[in-house]
Each structure stands twice: as C-alpha cells, then as structure tokens.
Structure 1
Amino acid sequence: MTDLLPAGIDRVLVTGGAGFIGGAVVRRLLRDTTAAVFNLDKVGYASDLTSIGPNPRHQLLKVDLADAAATAEAVRVADPDLVMHLAAESHVDRSIDGPGAFIESNVTGSFNLLQAVRTHWEALASERQERFRFHHISTDEVFGSLGPEGRFSETTPYDPRSPYSASKAASDHLVSAWHHTYGLPVVLTNCSNNYGPWQFPEKLIPVVILKAAAGEPIPLYGDGANVRDWLYVEDHVEALLLAATRGRLGQSYCVGGAGDHGSPSERTNKQVVEAICSLMDQLRPEGAPHGRLITPVTDRPGHDRRYAIDAAKITSELGWRPGHSFEEGLGATVRWYLDNLAWCGRVQAQAGYQGQRIGTRAAASHPSA
C-alpha cells in the first residue's frame, strides 16, 4: 500500500492495540508510517505487547474505557488526527459465562470514547477538524446467522444472537448515531473471523494447534458443520487502513476473506480442524495422525450456523482484496504457533487459562452474569 496515511495524519490513537488485531494495526503503523501511535488498552487477560516491542513512536496509555475520566484524559494526551477503535471484549464463550463485562467494555466503553472524541474533535482547528476520522471496527456476528445460501452485506439487518454480538451491535449503533446527531466523521467496518500469529490461544485455530501439539483431545463443537468466513489478520489490517483513511464518511464496509486468489474463504469448523491436523501431520509427524484427537463436545449455546461476507463494496470503492488464501494463511499460522509455544504458555499462564472449555451454560445461572 502506498501513502498509508494521508498528509496531516500524524497522530493515531488505536484502542485495543495490545490485542490481536489492534496489535497488528500498531505494528503496521510503526513499520510503514512516521506517525506517533498512542495505544489505549486496559491490558486485560488477552493483552500482550510482545509483538510490538520498544519503539519511540509508540506510547501505551493503560486505560479502561469504562472509566470516562481516564478515557477523556487519554484522548487529550493523544491529541489524535485518527482514532481506530478496536478495544472490545470479543470471545463469545466468555460472553455466555459473564455478559456484564461485555456490556461494560463494548457498550459503555464505546460511549465514553465517543464522548471524549467528540469533545476533542469539536475543539480542533478547522484544518485538523476537516481531516479527522473515527474508525469503528466491528464484527459480522452482529448480523446473526445465515442459512446455506447468501452473504452478509452492508444492508443486512442486524440480528445478534450472543451477548458478545449484541454488545457490538449496540456499539455500532452508537457510532452511527454520533455521526448523524453530532456530525462526528466516522467510518465503520464489520469483519469475518480473523486468524493469524499472536492471537490469544482461546479462539478455534490456536486452540486446535496447541491441543494437537500437546497430543490432547481437540474439542469440536456439535456436529462441526458451523461455517465461518476466515480472514487473515494482515489482510484485515490492509482493509482497515484503507477504510479509515479513504472510506466514505458515515458508511460501513464489510470485510471478508474471499478474494482473487481463487480459493473460497468459507470453511466448516470440522474442515478447519481437519486442515490443521493435516498440517500437523506434516510438521510434527511423530504425533500423526492428529485427526485421532478430534473429540465432539456439546455445542455452544446459541451457536450461529453460518457467516459469510460479501466484500464487493470495499473492493469496488477502495480497491481492497485479501492477499492470502486460507491455505496460505493457515499454513503460516500453524508454523508460527509451533515456533512460539513458549509465548503461548506465558500468555496462558498470565491469564489463568490453560485451554479449558468455557461458555457451556446460560449466563443467568452464573455468578458473574
């Protein structure tokens, strides 16, 4: 990508920049721009700064967006020309066990950020105010569940089915409302399932890799026929930076993994698990066949059947296409995790999470609900 940031975008505030996707955004900005990058992150259980490393243009602002005063102060310190809002509780299983944290972070936190950013934007000199952008990054899960046909697009009605997706839907609506009511210059994106290096090991792909590497049972929810659209994280970063800087104000863009590389991005969970086992057979033949470890388990409550993205809008308007096929991205991801087992063990220990099953019961019966 040339001209990664337009002239005058010198200070970027990334929320959730110690997370998986946010960290990838921060790394790209530090590598390919001269902007000062302010990383607002509460440094929760899934946060880690190892992938970023020391850089004089990177400043961590350890702030919980649920704290309105601290959020306002962080925005004042960052004095941004561009805000990319990725901070969110994002694991569906955890939202089933404890939805309160998702409402606090994703809804209240987004509200606090919008209020702070609106105050900042309104006080900017006219030239900076004209350049300013607020980019809200969301998920395709806000659209609910698809049948065997069709794809989500920017005109798909919202129909969230989990506490996580409901909290993200609420934040999407808040961002849109702040644009229409207050004139805040916003862009929204809704992405499909991301995967790649540095993802906290609680999501499907890293869980399967680590279980296979340890010779432990690999859990497969239900019949394994739930379908997801898979997007390599570095391809997503390309889309995010294009949307943030060149997307039409007030518009939303859907970002998925299908592209011109000739390979569809949709896979059932069973296909994903089997593909990882096949790669593990090649890379760790002493444990083959890893497919023998696949173990069906009771399905997740409210498990959406299928997601798929129609990315025609971002392709036609901004020229974005993913650069990795699922096979390419998955191969790189499996190799990365096998080469970084020590990191996985450290962040799991830090979070008190060792691959155990969560999200198996209705949140109403849980003391943290």
Structure 2
Amino acid sequence: MPKKLLVTGAAGFIGANFVHYWLKQYSNDNIIALDALTYAGNMSNLDHVRDNKNLKFVHGNICDDELVEKLMREHDIDTIVHFAAESHVDRSITGPDAFLETNIIGTHALLKVAKKIWLDEGLKPEHRFHHVSTDEVYGSLNTDDPAFNESTAYAPNSPYSASKAASDHLVRAYHHTYGLKVTTSNCSNNYGPFHFPEKLIPLVITNILFNKALPIYGDGQQIRDWLYVEDHARGIDLVIQKGRLGECYNIGGINEWANIDIVNLVCKLMDEAFSNNTDLAHRFPEAKAAINNNCASLITYVKDRPGHDRRYAIDPTKAENELGYKPSESFETGIRKTLQWYLDNQEWWSKVMDGSYQDWIENQYN
C-alpha cells in the first residue's frame, strides 16, 4: 500500500535529496514536504520535482504543532521522516538558542502530535516516526579509537550536538514510554548536490571559483567519515523498510578523510577540470588560481574553533548485517560527482549565496 509521508526539513540539503530519491523509488507514495525556509532551506532544491503530482510543499515550522496536526489529519500521514534541524556547529557556538528551539522543542512538537493522532486516537496503528540524527552526538575519537557504534555512549561537545542528542533521547522515550513506532539513524558527514555553501566541500569549491581563500581550521587534521548524500537516503529507506522498532542504526560512508586532505583533493580535481575544459575559464573568469592550475595556493590556515572535535568515524556493521546497507560511492567517485554538479549548477549556488550569507562567511573567516 502506498505510504503517505511528512518529510520535515524537506527543502534542506539532505531532506531535498531524500525527497528526490523517494519520489524516484516509490512513484505511488505521497509526500508532504514541510520546511521553514530558513537560511539553509531553499525551494530551488526541489525545482526538479516541484510539478510532481505526489509532492505538496508546505512552508511552515515544525514547532507549529497546530500546523503539523492539520497536515497529518488532512493528508492521512502514516510516516514521518524528520530531517528538520539547525545543523551548523559554528552557528550553534555563536547562537545556540535557535538550536534548542528547533532541534529539541521542534522534535518534541512532532512527537506530541504523532502520539495524539496515531496512538491516543488510534488512527494509524501502523505508522513510523523516523528521526535523522548525527554522529556528533557521540563526541570525539582519538586517532586509534574504534569507530562509533550504536552502543557508544553519548558525549556531545557543541550546542548543536547536545541539542541533537536531546532530540534522540526524546524519540527513544516516546517509544519506550508510549509505544510510538520509531527508528533513528545517526549519519556521518554528508556531501553531494544541494549542499549549502557554508559547509566545507561546497565552500572550497565556490571559493575557488571566486579566487577566495580556502580556510582551514587549526592544523587541518580533523578527521571525518564522509557519506554521499544519496547513499544516506538509501540507508534511511532501508531503516524505514526493514529496521527494528525502537532501534538506532549508524549510516556511514566508510570514508575517513582529514579536512586538509579533502581540500587538497578538491584543489587537485579543480585544477584537472580547468585543464581539461577550457570553457571553464570563460565561465568562471575570477577563478585565477584554477585557471593557473594552482588552487592549493588559496589554502589559508585560520584559528581553530572552540570545542572542535578531532575525529568522527561511523561503524555501519549493524546496518549492513540487519538491513543489507553498504555505501555505493567511494569518496573518490562521490567527490567527482559533487564537483561536477557544482560546476554544472552555478545558477543554483548563485541564488543561495545572497548578501546575508556572504556577510556571515566574511565574519567567520576574517
């Protein structure tokens, strides 16, 4: 039977990619795409599916429980996939209030409405609340530590990760206390199309095209596990279809890279792209370092941010054994796809890089 999904944060980076993926995989399902369209949510992320008859976009906030209840009743929602979150660590350091409001209060608002309709009124005995979380709730790893697994104790180190940890606990509590049918996935760092240009990989790509400095925090040896966003969407699909109720599943890319190595790789690939395609120099005349095949000359080391976790790494063994999950992209293949997408979609990232965004970047790195 076709599902009727409420996808929160559906115009954000991961949420939009999930919507694209789901509509392609399940053409008979209906999606209500809810997004507050804050700085990282952008309607242009959904341009290619906006005319799909099975998709309805709603501009609204997850903290508005009356709106959420109205949508769930009107559209007979049986599945919530909850992406909506404030997610940028730097922003959580300078302005933590928004993170507590969206990530904790907003998640609780969704849980309350879901419990009311699905359990208290018994309207949807077969339902699912899937909560999308992050590896950052586990804290930081030393170089030789084993990767995070689902039994790793929570040890969040930033207001962002603390707020996500709190939301994870609320989802768990609603399952164990009330019987809400929930699952949670904790992902590693995503990358790919529609990634907001404040994040490392798209920031490096777009800064190169403007011949701007490539800021590297501290020594650049912070290590992250990188997950191509479509692999993440497929992992969530497997959790929804096959995951055990009340369980958490780590979705990782099995791709650990130091930040400085990523930046050097992007520089190398950008040099290659400009060497192999002379049209790029005409399209991006400001990209002087790329035109001269010397993108690495833009690398600039800046003061490390407070509480910067040294290493994250995800162990996806549970998801592999129980769900059959394996990432299909290596970092080398995924980063080439990502770079090409940004070169081919200048109109998209030009739209999102408005004045307020540029001002914020300048404040961060100058």
TM-score by length of 2: 0.91
SS of equivalent residue, structure 1 residue 317: helix
- C-alpha separation in 2, matches of 1:54 and 1:345: 23
| Aligned position for 2:353 | 348
- C-alpha separation in 1, matches of 2:154 and 2:362: 29
Spell out the pairing of 1:225-240 with structure 2 (5 A cutoff): 225-240=221-236
- The one-letter code of the counterpart of 2:225 is D
Would you say 1:140 and 2:135 are equivalent positions?
A: yes
Alignment CA distance shift 1:241-1:124 (3 Å): farther
Query: Which of 251, 255, 272 is equivalent to 1:282?
Result: 272
Query: Which of 318, 321, 333 is equivalent to 2:338?
Result: 333
| Aligned position for 2:259 | 269
The percent of aligned pairs where both chains have the same amino acid is: 46
| Aligned position for 2:245 | 249
Deviation at 1:82, TM superposition (A): 1.1
- The one-letter code of the counterpart of 2:149 is S
| Aligned position for 1:83 | 80
Question: Which ranges of structure 1 fall in alignment gaps of 5 or more residues?
Answer: 1-7, 259-264, 361-369
Question: Which 10-residue stretch deviates more, 281-290 or 105-114?
Answer: 281-290
Would you say 1:101 and 2:98 are equivalent positions?
A: yes
| Aligned position for 2:158 | 162
SS of equivalent residue, structure 2 residue 80: strand
Q: Deviations over 1:259-297 (max 9, x none)?
A: xxxxxx000000000000000110124241100100000
- The one-letter code of the counterpart of 2:133 is S
| Aligned position for 2:42 | 48
Q: Deviations over 1:175-216 (max 9, x none)?
A: 000000000000000000000011111100000001111111
Alignment CA distance shift 1:205-1:194 (3 Å): same
Q: Deviations over 1:205-248 (max 9, x none)?
A: 00000111111111011000000000000000000011012100
| Aligned position for 1:5 | none
| Aligned position for 1:19 | 12
Alignment CA distance shift 1:225-1:308 (3 Å): same
| Aligned position for 1:199 | 195
SS of equivalent residue, structure 2 residue 262: helix
Deviation at 1:50, TM superposition (A): 2.3
- C-alpha separation in 1, matches of 2:232 and 2:337: 16
Give yes or no for contact 2:13–2:45 (8 Å, CA) kept in 1.
no
TM-score by length of 1: 0.90
Give yes or no for contact 2:217–2:304 (8 Å, CA) kept in 1.
yes
| Aligned position for 2:21 | 28
- C-alpha separation in 2, matches of 1:326 and 1:249: 31
Deviation at 1:173, TM superposition (A): 0.2
Deviation at 1:345, TM superposition (A): 1.4
| Aligned position for 2:323 | 318
Give yes or no for contact 1:97–1:358 (8 Å, CA) kept in 2.
no
Give yes or no for contact 2:2–2:30 (8 Å, CA) kept in 1.
no
SS of equivalent residue, structure 2 residue 131: strand
- The one-letter code of the counterpart of 1:234 is E
- The one-letter code of the counterpart of 2:338 is T
Query: Which of 185, 192, 198 is equivalent to 1:189?
Result: 185
- C-alpha separation in 1, matches of 2:355 and 2:328: 33
Question: Which 10-residue stretch deviates more, 31-40 or 321-330?
Answer: 31-40
Question: Which ranges of structure 2 fall in alignment gaps of 5 or more residues?
Answer: 276-290
- C-alpha separation in 2, matches of 1:45 and 1:248: 35
Question: Which 10-residue stretch deviates more, 51-60 or 315-324?
Answer: 51-60
Greater relative contact order (Cα < 8 A, sep 6+)? 1
Deviation at 1:74, TM superposition (A): 2.6
SS of equivalent residue, structure 1 residue 216: coil
- C-alpha separation in 1, matches of 2:355 and 2:93: 22
Give yes or no for contact 1:135–1:187 (8 Å, CA) kept in 2.
yes
SS of equivalent residue, structure 1 residue 120: helix
Alignment CA distance shift 1:252-1:358 (3 Å): farther
Deviation at 1:125, TM superposition (A): 5.5
- C-alpha separation in 2, matches of 1:343 and 1:83: 28
Query: Which of 156, 167, 176 is equivalent to 2:172?
Result: 176
- C-alpha separation in 1, matches of 2:341 and 2:94: 30
Alignment CA distance shift 1:354-1:333 (3 Å): farther
- The one-letter code of the counterpart of 2:262 is V
